[in-house]
Structure 1
Amino acid sequence: MADDPSSSLRRALDLLDGLASDDAVAQGGWGVNRLAAHLGRDKSQVSRTLRVLADASYIERDAESLRYRIGWHVFALASRAADQRLLVAAAPVLRRLVEHDLGERIHLTVLKGAEVLTVMTEAPSHSVQSVAWAGRLVPAHNTSSGRSLVIDFERDDLARLFAGVEFQVGGPNAPRDVDELYDRIRVARRAGYAIVDEEFEPGLVAASAPVRGFRGDVVAALNVSGPKFRLGNRLAIAGHVVKAAADELSRQVGWDGRTPFGFTDGAIAPEIPA
């Protein structure tokens, strides 16, 4: 007798939940017997469902241990869903930061090579917008957003990312080389947010914090920027406010808090964007 489709789907979802559990991940996956015992299901049913999931790359089987673990297709779906969720969740956060918390221009940014792309911006009503920020690319090495987006990078990662970049351009306080940039990133890592003071251009200051995805990696940054005469004396406060908002946004897109901000021994190695 054929399985009821809803029962088969329920069994597949239960198997995915089991393989995503802390115990299964810590043990490098589970075999058929362990999964059947965990779910209280017949081994033959579990085995058939595992084969279907493996054929579709939702799970994968280790050739040596014969254990199953979550496959690339699940991570690809989660990544696409997180991207969409990020934009939906970010809009009210940006508005709140502008209207109630900081009163300055707020940006949501992502890393594109050695530059920062603004994907969303919210400006206060008193602002005169001389530059259309959304869709604009700016250097990553002398902006607070850039610093948050590479906050997990080590010096060698930075050297590869910024190979050929002219560090001297920008404001009077821009970092002069990779070593100086790395020193500033380490300061930002300890604080959980980055601040820049006339690094991008004279008279402009900014604060930013990383937004992390479900794997704990940095997927975006929240940034506040404004003229030094207005924002300069409350820049550290702005950093704390933006960090709290970035943490909130991180949780909304799937970050569960188990990967702390900053580096740990189990940190995910950063990927160098193309």
Structure 2
Amino acid sequence: MASEVSTSVQRALDILIALGAAGSRGDSLKVGEVARAVGREKSQVSRSLKTLAEAGFVDRDPETLAYRLGWRLFTLAESAGNHRLVNIAAPILRQLVSRIGERAHLSVLQGDHVLTVLSEQGSSMIQVIGWVGRSSPVHSTSAGQALLTGHSDTAVRQLLRDARFEPGGPASPKNIDEMLARLARARRQGYAWSDEEFEAGLVAAAAPVVDSQGRVIAAVNVSAPKFRLGRRRDTVGREVRAAADTISQLLQEAGEGTVA
């Protein structure tokens, strides 16, 4: 019985994540599309969607019969996370985007993954896909490196003890030693730089946001195709670091503690 409940909960979570990803693109999904996205049987997904709809966590369009996240989730989100961090970071990210012309993100650490909680759009036609609400392995992203700069090497080894270091991009670190070497470089220069680690042709820079006690609680990063951003590494790195430092200072002036 406990196993069945666990499976149902996991299925519901997978469905919400899939709908969230679709929503970030302005899309909604029909039952069959949700089933394909989560790799589950259509009948199982249909039952889960019905339960989620009854609870207000998803909404179904009466004409298209497609689903999207419901308002109940948005009301719950108002009491989750650190809104002061997001509110302070938003205008700083917009300023960063205006200076660099590329999409900027704010991310936090969740276990051995990075979760993007805020993203501001750049002006270029070719954009890196929005990642709000989505997560990625900490070892293959500039944001992951920035978030771990406050960890000791021993703590990083413990955090990533079960990591499989599956390749993302062609330059993704292959093991913990390579990861630690990149972390050491990020600490020295004040920002992390990812060159085709997460995805081929993609580069990114990230810097840590710290609270009043000097603990890393978030990371600011900018990512873009290598042909646009690659030659501006030092400039972009300094801009990202300055933005992260500004957010840190404003949080400390506001008396902010750690992220919930």
TM-score band by shorter chain is 0.5 to 0.7
Other-structure match for 1:211:
209
Other-structure match for 1:264:
none
Other-structure match for 2:110:
112
Query: Equivalent pairs: percent with the same residue?
Result: 47
* Alignment partner of 1:228 is 2:221: no
Q: What amino acid is aligned across from residue 175 of structure 2 in structure 1?
A: D
Q: What amino acid is aligned across from residue 243 of structure 2 in structure 1?
A: A
Q: Are the equivalent residues in 1 in contact too, given 2:94–2:120 (CA < 8 A)?
A: yes
What is the TM-score with the length of structure 1 in the denominator?
0.61
SS at match of 2:222: strand
CA distance in 2, matches of 1:173, 1:126: 25
2:171 to 167, 170, 173: 173
Specify the structure having the higher radius of gyration (Cα).
Answer: 1
Q: Are the equivalent residues in 2 in contact too, given 1:213–1:255 (CA < 8 A)?
A: no
Other-structure match for 2:93:
94
SS at match of 1:149: helix
CA distance in 1, matches of 2:240, 2:137: 20
CA distance in 1, matches of 2:253, 2:175: 33
Give 1:199 deviation, angstroms. 0.4
Which 5+ residue runs of structure 1 have no aligned equivalent?
1-79, 257-274
Give 1:179 deviation, angstroms. 0.9
Give 1:215 deviation, angstroms. 1.0
CA distance in 2, matches of 1:236, 1:125: 21
Q: Deviations over 1:183-224 (max 9, x none)?
A: 110111011110010000100000000000111100100000
Which 5+ residue runs of structure 2 have no aligned equivalent?
1-78, 255-260
SS at match of 1:215: coil
* Alignment partner of 1:188 is 2:190: no
* Alignment partner of 1:164 is 2:162: yes
SS at match of 1:188: helix
1:121 to 119, 122, 140: 119
Give 1:129 deviation, angstroms. 5.3
Q: Are the equivalent residues in 2 in contact too, given 1:154–1:182 (CA < 8 A)?
A: no
CA distance in 1, matches of 2:134, 2:117: 8
Q: Deviations over 1:29-81 (max 9, x none)?
A: xxxxxxxxxxxxxxxxxxxxxxxxxxxxxxxxxxxxxxxxxxxxxxxxxxx9x
SS at match of 2:156: helix
Other-structure match for 1:135:
133
CA distance in 1, matches of 2:251, 2:170: 37
Shift in alpha-carbon separation, 1:162–1:214, aligned structure 2, 3 A: same
**Count, aligned residues:** 176
What is the TM-score with the length of structure 2 in the denominator?
0.64
Shift in alpha-carbon separation, 1:129–1:226, aligned structure 2, 3 A: closer
RMSD: 2.0
Give 1:154 deviation, angstroms. 2.2
